[in-house]
């Protein structure tokens, strides 16, 4: 892990009634500006790692482009104030973006800061094709249990979220981490797109709660299943239902809850839902 993503800070620890001078590794948090064709579109606070993935993923999940190939070039410009992800789009995309230009400055954990209308906040999620893909319940639980050792930055700092892609044949990968849960998912979206991977037969694993923006971004990735360690909001559930996403949440060692489209999950017979549930 590079020195740009974490640093060691002195700490006075008070534990079990004892005081001790020590130090700990702390995750970095940096202002990241995303600009298109010379104009700043958004400024987010994020972990300064996997920033090409972040730029591509943000551009895709926000609907600025439909394909990663629509981004002609991407450069990282570092300064004392932060880092600019400078991207150039083709003429048509740049013109359309200029028509819907917005300035967005958001703290960590804020995925809707700076939007201009209620319609933007409640934009319909892209429908995920139903390809009759099914997943064994225990396989998905095993994937969540296997994620923690792969969260390298969080193991050292205990302060960042992770978003990962899991496929029943190839397992977990890629994994992306960030101080912001939306940023981690955007980085994952970018990593999938840049690797030209298809997400239609896998699942997104999240170490955060599931809000509507997370479901909207997952729908843009095209993933049929989202599983998270924390609970969903009511709007996240409704959006997942509309998008055709199977939403699993509150994942613990003993299982999880299936909130939408349970037909994709093969549950053990002894815990299968009754007809009247």
CA distance 64 to 197: 20
3-state secondary structure of 265: strand
The number of C-alpha atoms within 13 Å of 35 and in the hemisphere containing its C-beta is: 14
**Radius of gyration, alpha carbons of the chain:** 20
3-state secondary structure of 158: coil
* Helix and strand totals (H; E) in the chain: 8, 15
Which two three-digit tokens encode residue 205?
């694993």
Query: Peptide bond before 245: cis, by omega within 30 degrees of 0?
Result: no
The β-bridge partners of 76 are 85
Of the residues 110, 113, 200, 277, only one is catalytic, namely 110
CA distances from 179 to 19, 28, 29, 60 (A): 28, 8, 7, 20
Clarify whether 277 is annotated catalytic.
no
Whose CA is closest to 217, among 100, 90, 125? 125
Q: How far is CA 151 from the centre of its chain?
A: 14
Which sequence positions are flagged as catalytic? 110
């Amino acid at each position: 892990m590079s020195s740009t993503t974490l640093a060691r800070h002195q700490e006075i620890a008070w534990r079990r009634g004892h005081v001790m001078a020590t130090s700990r590794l702390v995750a970095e948090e940096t202002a990241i500006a995303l600009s298109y064709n010379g104009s700043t579109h958004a400024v987010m606070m994020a972990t300064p790692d996997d920033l090409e993935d972040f730029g591509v993923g943000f551009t895709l999940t926000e609907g600025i482009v439909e394909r990663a190939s629509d981004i002609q070039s991407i450069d990282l410009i570092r300064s004392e104030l932060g880092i600019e992800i400078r991207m150039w789009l083709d003429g048509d995309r740049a013109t359309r973006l200029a028509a819907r230009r917005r300035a967005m400055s958001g703290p960590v954990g804020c995925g809707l800061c700076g939007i201009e209308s209620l319609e933007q906040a409640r934009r319909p999620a892209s429908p995920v094709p139903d390809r009759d893909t099914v997943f064994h319940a225990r396989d998905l639980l095993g994937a969540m249990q296997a994620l923690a050792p792969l969260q390298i930055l969080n193991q050292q700092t205990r302060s960042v979220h992770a978003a990962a892609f899991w496929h029943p044949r190839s397992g977990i990968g890629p994994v992306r981490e960030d101080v912001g849960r939306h940023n981690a998912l955007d980085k994952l979206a970018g990593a999938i797109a840049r690797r030209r991977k298809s997400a239609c037969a896998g699942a997104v694993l999240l170490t955060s709660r599931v809000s509507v923006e997370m479901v909207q971004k997952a729908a843009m990735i095209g993933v049929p299943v989202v599983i998270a360690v924390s609970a969903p909001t009511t709007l996240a559930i409704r959006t997942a239902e509309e998008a055709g996403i199977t939403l699993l949440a509150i994942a613990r060692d003993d299982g999880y809850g299936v909130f939408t489209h349970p037909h994709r999950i093969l549950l053990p017979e002894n815990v299968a839902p009754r007809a009247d549930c």
